[in-house]
Chains A and B, each alone.
Chain A
Amino acid sequence: MADVDDSANSPPLGIQTRADAAGAPVIAVSGDLDISGVERLRGAVAEAAAQHPEQLIFDVSDLRFMDSAGIAVLLVAASSVPSVRLLNPTAPVRRVIELTGLTDVLRVEP
């Protein structure tokens, strides 16, 4: 039900996993990330974490919105992989991370 509502007025959540030059998994998340999309992201994170990489990178440059449910998934990632980096967060996403005291836990770059 939430998914149906979601599609009506917000950009769809996009999740794509790739590897960067060093071979570290990069999960690009775009659109709106809220409770209706966290299961998909959780799946992508679990898949990437299953390879036991040294670090996991989230490319959130096109993520417009993230709520506390999205934060929770990032925290799952941060607790299962030694290092989590967050690339180019938009202002709303950056602010959520700051206000929840996660700036140090999730390495926000730049």
Chain B
Amino acid sequence: MIAGEAADAAALGAPGTGEAAQDRATRLAVRARRPSGAALLALVLGLAITAGLAVTAAVLYHHNERRLLKLRVRELSLVLSGATQGVQTPLASAAALADATGGNAARFRTLMAPYAGPGRQFASVSMWPLGAGALRPRVTLGTPLARAATRASHVSALARRPGALDMVGLLNESPPALGFGYALGGGAGSYAVFAESPLPADRRSSLEQNSAFSDLDYAVYLGRGQHASQLLLTSVRHPPLKGLTASDTVPFASSSLTIAITPRGSLGGGFFHSLPWLIVIGGVLISIAASMLTERLAQGRMRAEKLAAQLDKLAAENRERYIEQRSIAQTLQQALLPSQLPRLPGLQVNARYVPAQAGGDVGGDWYDIVAIDERHVLLVIGDVSGHGVEAATTMALVRHAALAYIAEDHRPAAVLAKLADFVGGGEHDYFATVLCALIDVQGRTLTLSSAGHLAPLLLADGSGEYVSVKAEPPIGFPHSAPFREATITVPPGATLVAFTDGLVERRGEVLDEGLERLREMAISEHLGGDDLLAKLARDLTSDDHRDDTALVSIQWQT
């Protein structure tokens, strides 16, 4: 508790000089501006989660894009393969016609004229008789792009692969072109057809806007691989393609084509393309918000802790006030008790009052020792039921009434009877146990009467016993029987110890055990007077005893 209070005081700061207060305020402000660890942690965690999600989304996105791109390149390959037919069909028809007509030029022209010439499928189409010495075209439609010798060398190769569409690259010609040849037979009487398909000088070509592939950039190469020298067509200004690409090689005529594509935008849709960035933006915003919220909570908690510390301090102050109040009440009680005890020759009188510790209340115990004359002393010790100021005021009332009756008549039974009449019974709910004892110093006699009070202990010659006196009902209870008195003679040097029940009452034990404990302790050491009372008060009233206790000792010195 003490440590806690010290910590509270440190947290709140003891009220100090203005300078110290300002310093404290500055410290608090600095503390308030600096974000708490929890807020930073929330921010870092949020950002980490955001990063993880964004990366995952990006990876998934790219994986998906690659998959879609592969699908597209396969589709494109199929389209390209299909294009073979578009070339082979007219050339094969022309070769068949030439074979069938013995190389009839007019029929050939009629058939192939729609295919040859500027803006048509082929720049030139020519018919070559085979097996007749030097190869020379019989008919040429359109304008040939390659030199005659070049074309002748390709046609001679055709004779070795009859019935198959042949494709050659004429990429060094101007303009560059692709050559296609077809022959049905290889020997004499057969005819070969050779066509040239021009390519754009810069190889640039774009697919139609609304085609199924308008979302792709592409590059088509002759043969396998993507060598710049073999580039046929591309949609980009600076081949090769960069970034995410997919490629496929498809057989085409006697050769093959390699097609490479790259997406112009996002194949899976703009949303999935943007998703990682959306996650990043959203995640960062959420992280900042979470961090700010955490910070706010942390600040709230700090304020709550501060408040708790203040409450602790208030509680401590209340405790102090309570203790102070209790000590005031005890001072009051002490003030009600006699400040001076009578001093008679041959008699030593001592008294003590021990307030209750646990309850913190004043009690209703009291004592009075009144000198009647040179040789008589009257002892009154009593206990008003209850605690608190009410009990204390009742005690004061009963006590002063007793003092008044003592002045009239000092016989104990008479004092108690008058007191009982004064207090009456039935109209109130308090009671008082009272022991009244008249002491004759020279005569060494003791006359006592008890209204429900515990009998006193008489110590003599190292032994002790309780005075035998029949207790009548307490004061405050209506009764008809008169109070009885007992008179005993005491040995020289005897000590009478009168007390209230706080000294002997213990929870869960028979009262006799407490009485026996007191008796043994009183005779264990040959103490007298205040030393004896001090020892009894110290050893018999524990730190948490709940009842107040009054103790009186009267010792004959003769």
Residues of A bordering B, CB below 8 Å: 1-2, 5, 10, 32, 34-36, 38, 42, 64-65, 67-69, 71-72, 75-76, 78-80, 91-92, 95-96, 99-102, 104-105
Name the CB-closest residue of A to B430. Answer: A72
Name the A residues within 8 Å of B70 (CB-CB).
none
Interface check B368, CB cutoff 8 A:
no
> Across the interface, do A64 and B474 meet the contact criterion of CB distance under 8 Å?
no
Interface check B555, CB cutoff 8 A:
no
Q: How far is the CB of A40 from chain B (nearest CB, A)?
A: 14
> Across the interface, do A99 and B508 meet the contact criterion of CB distance under 8 Å?
no
22 residue pairs A–B, Cβ–Cβ below 8 Å: A10-B507, A32-B508, A35-B359, A35-B546, A36-B546, A67-B501, A67-B547, A68-B385, A68-B501, A68-B547, A69-B385, A69-B387, A71-B385, A71-B474, A76-B429, A79-B425, A92-B510, A95-B511, A99-B454, A99-B511, A100-B452, A102-B474
Q: Which of B385, B472, B507 contacts A32 (CB 8 A)?
A: B507
Q: How far is the CB of A104 from chain B (nearest CB, A)?
A: 8
Q: Mark B528-554, 1 if CB is under 8 A from A, else 0.
A: 000000000000000010110000000
Name the B residues within 8 Å of A71 (CB-CB).
385, 431, 452, 474
Name the A residues within 8 Å of B471 (CB-CB).
99-101
A35 to B451, CA, bound (A): 21
> Across the interface, do A65 and B508 meet the contact criterion of CB distance under 8 Å?
yes
Interface check B478, CB cutoff 8 A:
yes
Interface check B450, CB cutoff 8 A:
yes
Contacts A5-B358, A72-B386, A100-B433 given; does A92 touch B473 at CB 8 Å: no
Name the B residues within 8 Å of A10 (CB-CB).
507-508
Contacts A2-B359, A79-B425 given; does A92 touch B509 at CB 8 Å: yes
Known: A1-B358, A101-B471. 10 other contacts (CB 8 A): A36-B359, A68-B433, A71-B385, A75-B474, A91-B510, A92-B508, A92-B511, A100-B452, A101-B451, A102-B473
A65 to B195, CA, bound (A): 128
Q: Which of B359, B425, B453, B479 contacts A1 (CB 8 A)?
A: B359
Interface check B217, CB cutoff 8 A:
no
Name the CB-closest residue of B to A94. Answer: B510
> Across the interface, do B507 and A34 meet the contact criterion of CB distance under 8 Å?
yes
Q: How far is the CB of B320 from chain A (nearest CB, A)?
A: 15
Per DSSP, chain A at the interface is: helix
Name the B residues within 8 Å of A96 (CB-CB).
511
Name the CB-closest residue of B to A80. Answer: B426
Contacts A35-B547, A79-B425, A79-B477 given; does A64 touch B508 at CB 8 Å: yes
Interface check B46, CB cutoff 8 A:
no
A45 to B511, CA, bound (A): 25
Q: Which of B473, B511, B546, B547 contacts A105 (CB 8 A)?
A: B473
A102 to B453, CA, bound (A): 11
Name the CB-closest residue of A to B385. Answer: A72
Interface check B179, CB cutoff 8 A:
no
Q: Which of B358, B385, B429, B453 contacts A2 (CB 8 A)?
A: B358
Name the B residues within 8 Å of A36 (CB-CB).
359, 546
Interface check B519, CB cutoff 8 A:
no
Interface check B505, CB cutoff 8 A:
yes
A32 to B546, CA, bound (A): 13
Interface check B470, CB cutoff 8 A:
yes
> Across the interface, do A101 and B507 meet the contact criterion of CB distance under 8 Å?
no
Name the A residues within 8 Å of B451 (CB-CB).
101
Name the CB-closest residue of A to B450. Answer: A101
A108 to B547, CA, bound (A): 26
Q: How far is the CB of A66 from chain B (nearest CB, A)?
A: 9
A42 to B426, CA, bound (A): 14
Name the CB-closest residue of B to A76. Answer: B429
Q: Mark B372-391, 1 if CB is under 8 A from A, else 0.
A: 00000000000101110000
Interface check B176, CB cutoff 8 A:
no
A80 to B425, CA, bound (A): 10
Interface check B137, CB cutoff 8 A:
no
> Across the interface, do A68 and B387 meet the contact criterion of CB distance under 8 Å?
no
Q: How far is the CB of B225 from chain A (nearest CB, A)?
A: 93
Interface check B208, CB cutoff 8 A:
no
> Across the interface, do A101 and B452 meet the contact criterion of CB distance under 8 Å?
yes
Name the A residues within 8 Å of B510 (CB-CB).
91-92, 95
Name the A residues within 8 Å of B429 (CB-CB).
42, 72, 76
Interface check B355, CB cutoff 8 A:
no
Contacts A42-B429, A72-B429 given; does A101 touch B473 at CB 8 Å: yes
Q: Mark B428-457, 1 if CB is under 8 A from A, else 0.
A: 011101000000000000000011111100
A46 to B332, CA, bound (A): 32
A67 to B359, CA, bound (A): 15
Name the A residues within 8 Å of B511 (CB-CB).
92, 95-96, 99
The 8 closest A-B pairs by CB, nearest first: A101-B471, A72-B385, A100-B452, A95-B511, A79-B426, A76-B429, A65-B507, A92-B510
Interface check B263, CB cutoff 8 A:
no
Interface check B283, CB cutoff 8 A:
no
A38 to B546, CA, bound (A): 14
> Across the interface, do A35 and B450 meet the contact criterion of CB distance under 8 Å?
no
Name the B residues within 8 Å of A76 (CB-CB).
429
> Across the interface, do A75 and B360 meet the contact criterion of CB distance under 8 Å?
no
Which of B359, B431, B505 counts the most chain A CB atoms within 10 A? Answer: B431
Q: How far is the CB of B138 from chain A (nearest CB, A)?
A: 127
Name the A residues within 8 Å of B454 (CB-CB).
99-100
> Across the interface, do B501 and A34 meet the contact criterion of CB distance under 8 Å?
no
